[in-house]
Structure 1
Amino acid sequence: MLRSAAHDAGLHVLEAVNVRVGPARIPIPDLVITTEIDFDELVVDASAVRLVCEILSPSNADTDRVLKRHYYASAGIPWFLLADPKDGTLQLFALDGSEYRAHSAGAPGSPLQLTEPVVVSIDPQELLPPR
């Protein structure tokens, strides 16, 4: 869903890449949307990242929800998307100063509408395995 929207916006969607958010801090988010980058580099600088997405996992949900969110905000990444496969929700946060503020949300049957950095509607129902 994001790839074609990113392409239309002149951006790239990458999975599990190293993102430098500080001098000695390089987390690996589940997904990022970036501007033009050097694909030969092993690390993407946070300045090229427009949206970062973390998918909550049972083993590190607090790290994704709190710690990484703080790292990404401190690095100035404009958008943070949090996906919770347990309840099928998507939460989008916009950078406001040095912190993220809730912007919009989506749930199965109630799509998340993104207008920045890409324009796309994502229904979490389409991302979840059949039940």
Structure 2
Amino acid sequence: MSNEQLGVTDGKLAPCPNKPNCVSTQSIDEKSKMEPFSYSGTEGEALAKLKEILLDRKRTKIVKEDENYIRAEETSKLFKFVDDIEFYLEEASKTVHFRSASRTGYSDFGVNKKRMEEIRNAFVN
């Protein structure tokens, strides 16, 4: 998926492609669906915490951010594949929605799901 297709449109992140290398809290497909997590405090505080977690991850760089959205890229160690990671904060429900997808290939051997579980755990603990 090109970078132009990423982002939030009408409160929704881009849908996952029909490949097992993407996870999203807004997916309608059970195989790629993950549960969002909630935040307390302000949207700005939640974004700052997410940013700190992402910056602590090796091979991860933030490429776009605004008042309720962060997009980052994480590069795999061995083959240098790039994955796109997005977070959208829904202020009304104080919910963090996310999407993590491989740009290339078919399967990711669970890498995107594992990554998002790690980020969620770092955020809520």
- Same fold, TM-score > 0.5, yes or no: no
TM-score normalised by L of structure 1: 0.27
TM-score normalised by L of structure 2: 0.28
Indicate the structure with greater helix content.
2
Indicate the structure with greater strand content.
1
The higher radius of gyration belongs to 1
